[in-house]
């Protein structure tokens, strides 16, 4: 089971050689030599990103003990002295309105039991696609698809050949018996395809269009199911419409938030990690930092690493012929670039988190290693990862499997008091929705577009002014209740059908009148308060004053050669974050798709 892997355990690159990588590696080595000559005292080899990305077996441990590179960057990084350490702001660890809402995913009385609707000769099989979280959406949607078709679902087959290279099967990641029993009233699920009428049938393979509606399933899949009895849907990701009947949406939530849980082994280790963070401080932040070299290269953005970075990322970019030139400056302005660790640090300090906060960094391999993390570490010295708060032996059952490592990060991020992302990928979205469902736990997603101009002008203003403006632009991106209108965004990031509001008594209504007023105005999309005056006693963190538009920069669809794709012939990236929430990259290269499907 010694599979090459790309994250968590790290070290996937050189074990998965590609012809194009050899010249790239040669170029990088040459660059390294050139750079080393320029330095009076050359940086330690382990701190060099090119080596970090190919040789480091366990990326986290050396990352956080920043020898060499770290201290120089910190001293260059004099900005830290501008940042006052003040009293902790209110609302950092939760929304005061959260208690008025609760997750509600019970079915209505019209929703018949699976024993009534399941047809004995209809079996649905699916094969998921992508990284752990993209596969998760596929599994959830598969249960709903089986329900639509009155079919029995065979336990989904995981994608073991994606970019992330994890050979684990379903029952090694998820609690399969729980999955079957918890959902038994909704959909009949079996571990293996049984014989039908005394015969073992060969599944009829097909692929449904992306975002297939209920009617689309009935029109396209049902006829095959009636004829062949067993249908296997391949590459099953985003194959179900965002909008569905209420009862089907609630089923989606029951699967996502109750029926699908990790194996006992993974859950236990995840809880252990949470407990270790709690021993260190009362509250902790989990930061999902996507900063892998491949992803950065793909983004086409510039992250401040000078000519060296341009060359290194450029070399990686050459692997994909299908990649079009991207204007880094434009990408930034449009908010399509993941925040750098430094930018995340600035944002969090500006929001009022103190420097003594403990941060769990959930991440794969970080481009530039310790050097990249140093500015964040200057803002927040207490950085941890699963590798720094547990032993090698404890991690052994997980470390060779990218999905299990990702599952541990998922659990810690889910259990954190404040969850912060630098990106808008699948994990960020799924966790954002999950945290809404389970009580609107503080969830901070950068308003990258507006933060960008603020951050680039930050030296032009006082820290207080910068800080107020950051809080202003982050309104609507803080995980507050009703921040997003129902139906906006993908369902798993905004599961509005499954969030109910408690009936408000008169007195409560009165004391929250300001809240109501703000909420009632948030339907006017795109109104951004332009005033510079933000009261420093602003405790209403994150209530939407403008409709958040979070552009997708790591979520993608493959522009496959399917005639029935929703937008035939449209193979270019569609980049217009303002257009609507269906903004997606369309990629021609399955490997590119894999990188982004976390």
Ligand X SMILES: *[C@@H]1O[C@H](CO)[C@@H](O)[C@H](O)[C@H]1NC(C)=O
185 counts as binding ligand X under rule CB under 6 A: yes
Q: Is 271 helix (H, G, I), strand (E, B) or coil?
A: helix
Joined together, the tokens standing for residue 99 give 């208690």
CA angle (183, 189, 195) in 5-degree steps: 165
CB nearer ligand X, residue 175 or residue 555: 175
218 counts as binding ligand X under rule CB under 6 A: yes
Residue 325 DSSP label: P
Residues sharing a CB contact under 8 Å with residue 391, sequence separation 6 or more, in sequence order: none
Site string for ligand X, 475-504 (x = CB under 6 A): ------------------------------
108 counts as binding ligand X under rule CB under 6 A: no
150 counts as binding ligand X under rule CB under 6 A: yes
CB nearer ligand X, residue 199 or residue 459: 459
CB nearer ligand X, residue 518 or residue 528: 518
Are β-strands 358-362 and 418-421 bridged in parallel, bridged antiparallel, or unpaired?
unpaired
Name the residue among 227, 226, 232, 184 with its Cα closest to residue 208: 232
Binding segment (CB under 6 A) for ligand X, from list 130-138, 338-346, 376-384, 514-522: 514-522
CB nearer ligand X, residue 61 or residue 509: 61
537 counts as binding ligand X under rule CB under 6 A: yes
> Do residues 551 and 424 lie in contact, with contact meaning Cβ atoms separated by under 8 Å?
yes
Q: Minimum Å distance from CB 200 to ligand X? A: 16
Binding segment (CB under 6 A) for ligand X, from list 9-17, 169-177, 427-435, 554-562: 169-177
33 counts as binding ligand X under rule CB under 6 A: no
Joined together, the tokens standing for residue 49 give 């990103």
CB nearer ligand X, residue 156 or residue 375: 156
222 counts as binding ligand X under rule CB under 6 A: yes
Residues sharing a CB contact under 8 Å with residue 1, sequence separation 6 or more, in sequence order: 167, 400
278 counts as binding ligand X under rule CB under 6 A: no
Q: Minimum Å distance from CB 389 to ligand X? A: 11
Residues sharing a CB contact under 8 Å with residue 510, sequence separation 6 or more, in sequence order: none
Residue from the set 169, 213, 281, 382 that interacts with ligand X by CB under 6 A = 169
149 counts as binding ligand X under rule CB under 6 A: yes
67 counts as binding ligand X under rule CB under 6 A: no
φ, ψ at 367 (rounded to 5°): -60, 125
Residue from the set 78, 81, 391, 460 that interacts with ligand X by CB under 6 A = 460
Determine which helix (DSSP H) or strand (DSSP E) holds 331, and give its type and residue range. helix 328-333
Q: Minimum Å distance from CB 172 to ligand X? A: 5
521 counts as binding ligand X under rule CB under 6 A: yes
175 counts as binding ligand X under rule CB under 6 A: no
Binding segment (CB under 6 A) for ligand X, from list 305-313, 339-347, 430-438, 513-521: 513-521
25 counts as binding ligand X under rule CB under 6 A: no
Binding segment (CB under 6 A) for ligand X, from list 167-175, 227-235, 336-344, 349-357: 167-175
535 counts as binding ligand X under rule CB under 6 A: yes
159 counts as binding ligand X under rule CB under 6 A: no
> Do residues 347 and 446 lie in contact, with contact meaning Cβ atoms separated by under 8 Å?
yes
Site string for ligand X, 579-598 (x = CB under 6 A): --------------------
Buried b (16+ CB within 10 A) or exposed e, 166-188: bbbebebbbbbebbbebbeebbb
CA distance to 120, 343, 453, 480, per residue, from 449 (Å): 52, 13, 7, 20
Q: Give the chain's end-to-end CA distance (angstroms, integer).
A: 22
CB nearer ligand X, residue 180 or residue 574: 180
Q: Is 124 helix (H, G, I), strand (E, B) or coil?
A: strand
Q: Put the strands of the sheet holding 358-362 in their side by side order.
A: 383-384, 358-362, 284-288, 418-421, 442-444
Residue 201 DSSP label: P
517 counts as binding ligand X under rule CB under 6 A: yes
Name the residue among 254, 149, 183, 185 with its Cα closest to residue 495: 254
65 counts as binding ligand X under rule CB under 6 A: yes
> Do residues 593 and 564 lie in contact, with contact meaning Cβ atoms separated by under 8 Å?
no
> Do residues 41 and 345 lie in contact, with contact meaning Cβ atoms separated by under 8 Å?
no
Residue from the set 457, 487, 576, 579 that interacts with ligand X by CB under 6 A = 457
Residue from the set 201, 207, 211, 258 that interacts with ligand X by CB under 6 A = 258
Binding segment (CB under 6 A) for ligand X, from list 165-173, 361-369, 402-410, 473-481: 165-173
CB nearer ligand X, residue 324 or residue 459: 459
> Do residues 341 and 289 lie in contact, with contact meaning Cβ atoms separated by under 8 Å?
yes
Point out which residues bind ligand X (CB under 6 A): 61, 65, 104, 106, 117, 149-150, 169, 171-172, 182, 185, 218, 222, 258, 457, 460, 517-518, 521, 535, 537
């Amino acid at each position: 089971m010694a599979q090459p892997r790309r994250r968590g355990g790290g070290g996937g690159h050189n074990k998965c050689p590609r012809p194009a990588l050899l010249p790239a590696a040669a170029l990088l080595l040459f660059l390294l030599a050139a750079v080393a000559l320029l330095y009076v005292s050359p940086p330690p080899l382990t701190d060099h990103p090119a080596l970090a990305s190919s040789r480091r077996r366990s990326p986290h441990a050396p990352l956080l003990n920043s020898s060499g590179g770290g201290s120089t960057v910190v001293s260059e990084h004099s900005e830290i002295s501008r940042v006052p350490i003040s009293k902790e702001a209110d609302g950092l660890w939760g929304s005061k309105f959260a208690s008025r809402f609760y997750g509600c995913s019970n079915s209505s009385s019209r929703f018949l039991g699976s024993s009534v609707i399941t047809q004995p000769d209809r079996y649905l099989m699916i094969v998921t696609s992508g990284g752990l979280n993209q596969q998760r959406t596929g599994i959830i949607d598969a249960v709903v698809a089986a329900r639509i078709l009155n079919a029995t679902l065979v336990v989904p087959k995981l994608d073991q050949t994606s970019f992330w290279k994890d050979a684990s099967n379903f029952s090694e990641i998820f609690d399969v018996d729980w999955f079957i029993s918890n959902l038994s009233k909704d959909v009949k699920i079996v571990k293996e395809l049984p014989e039908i009428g005394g015969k073992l049938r060969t599944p009829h393979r097909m692929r449904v269009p992306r975002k297939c509606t209920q009617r689309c399933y009935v029109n396209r899949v049902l006829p095959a199911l009636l004829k062949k009895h067993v249908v296997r849907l391949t590459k099953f990701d985003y194959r179900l419409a965002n909008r569905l009947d209420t009862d089907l949406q609630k089923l989606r939530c029951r699967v996502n938030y109750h029926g699908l849980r990790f194996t006992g082994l993974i859950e236990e280790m995840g809880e252990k990690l949470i407990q270790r963070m709690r021993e260190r401080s009362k509250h902790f932040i989990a930061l999902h930092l996507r900063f892998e070299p491949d992803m950065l290269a793909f983004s086409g953005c510039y992250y401040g690493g000078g000519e060296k970075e341009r060359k290194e990322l450029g070399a990686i970019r050459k692997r994909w012929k299908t990649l079009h030139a991207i204007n880094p400056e434009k990408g930034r302005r449009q908010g399509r670039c993941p925040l750098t660790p430094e930018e995340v640090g600035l944002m969090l300090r500006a929001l009022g988190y103190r420097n003594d906060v403990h941060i769990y960094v959930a991440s794969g391999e970080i481009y530039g290693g310790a050097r990249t993390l140093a500015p964040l570490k200057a803002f927040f010295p207490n950085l941890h990862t699963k590798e720094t708060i547990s032993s090698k032996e404890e991690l052994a059952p997980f470390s060779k499997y990218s999905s299990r490592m990702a599952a541990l990060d998922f659990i810690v991020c889910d259990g954190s008091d404040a969850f912060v992302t630098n990106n808008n990928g699948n994990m960020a979205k799924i966790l954002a929705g999950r945290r809404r469902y389970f009580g609107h736990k503080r969830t901070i997603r950068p308003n990258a577009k507006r933060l960008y101009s603020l951050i680039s002008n930050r030296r032009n203003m006082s820290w207080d002014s910068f800080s107020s403006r950051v809080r202003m632009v982050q309104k609507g991106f803080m995980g507050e209740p009703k921040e997003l209108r129902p139906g906006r965004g993908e369902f798993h990031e905004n599961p509005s059908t499954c969030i109910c509001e408690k009936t408000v008594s008169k007195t409560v209504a009165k004391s929250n009148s300001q809240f109501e007023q703000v909420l009632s105005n948030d339907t006017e999309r795109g109104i951004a308060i332009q005033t510079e005056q933000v009261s420093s006693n602003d405790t209403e963190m994150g209530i939407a004053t403008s409709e958040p538009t979070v552009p997708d920069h790591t979520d993608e669809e493959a522009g496959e050669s399917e005639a029935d794709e929703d937008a035939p012939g449209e193979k270019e990236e569609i980049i217009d974050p303002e257009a609507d929430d269906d903004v997606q990259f369309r990629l021609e290269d399955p490997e590119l798709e894999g990188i982004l499907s976390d």
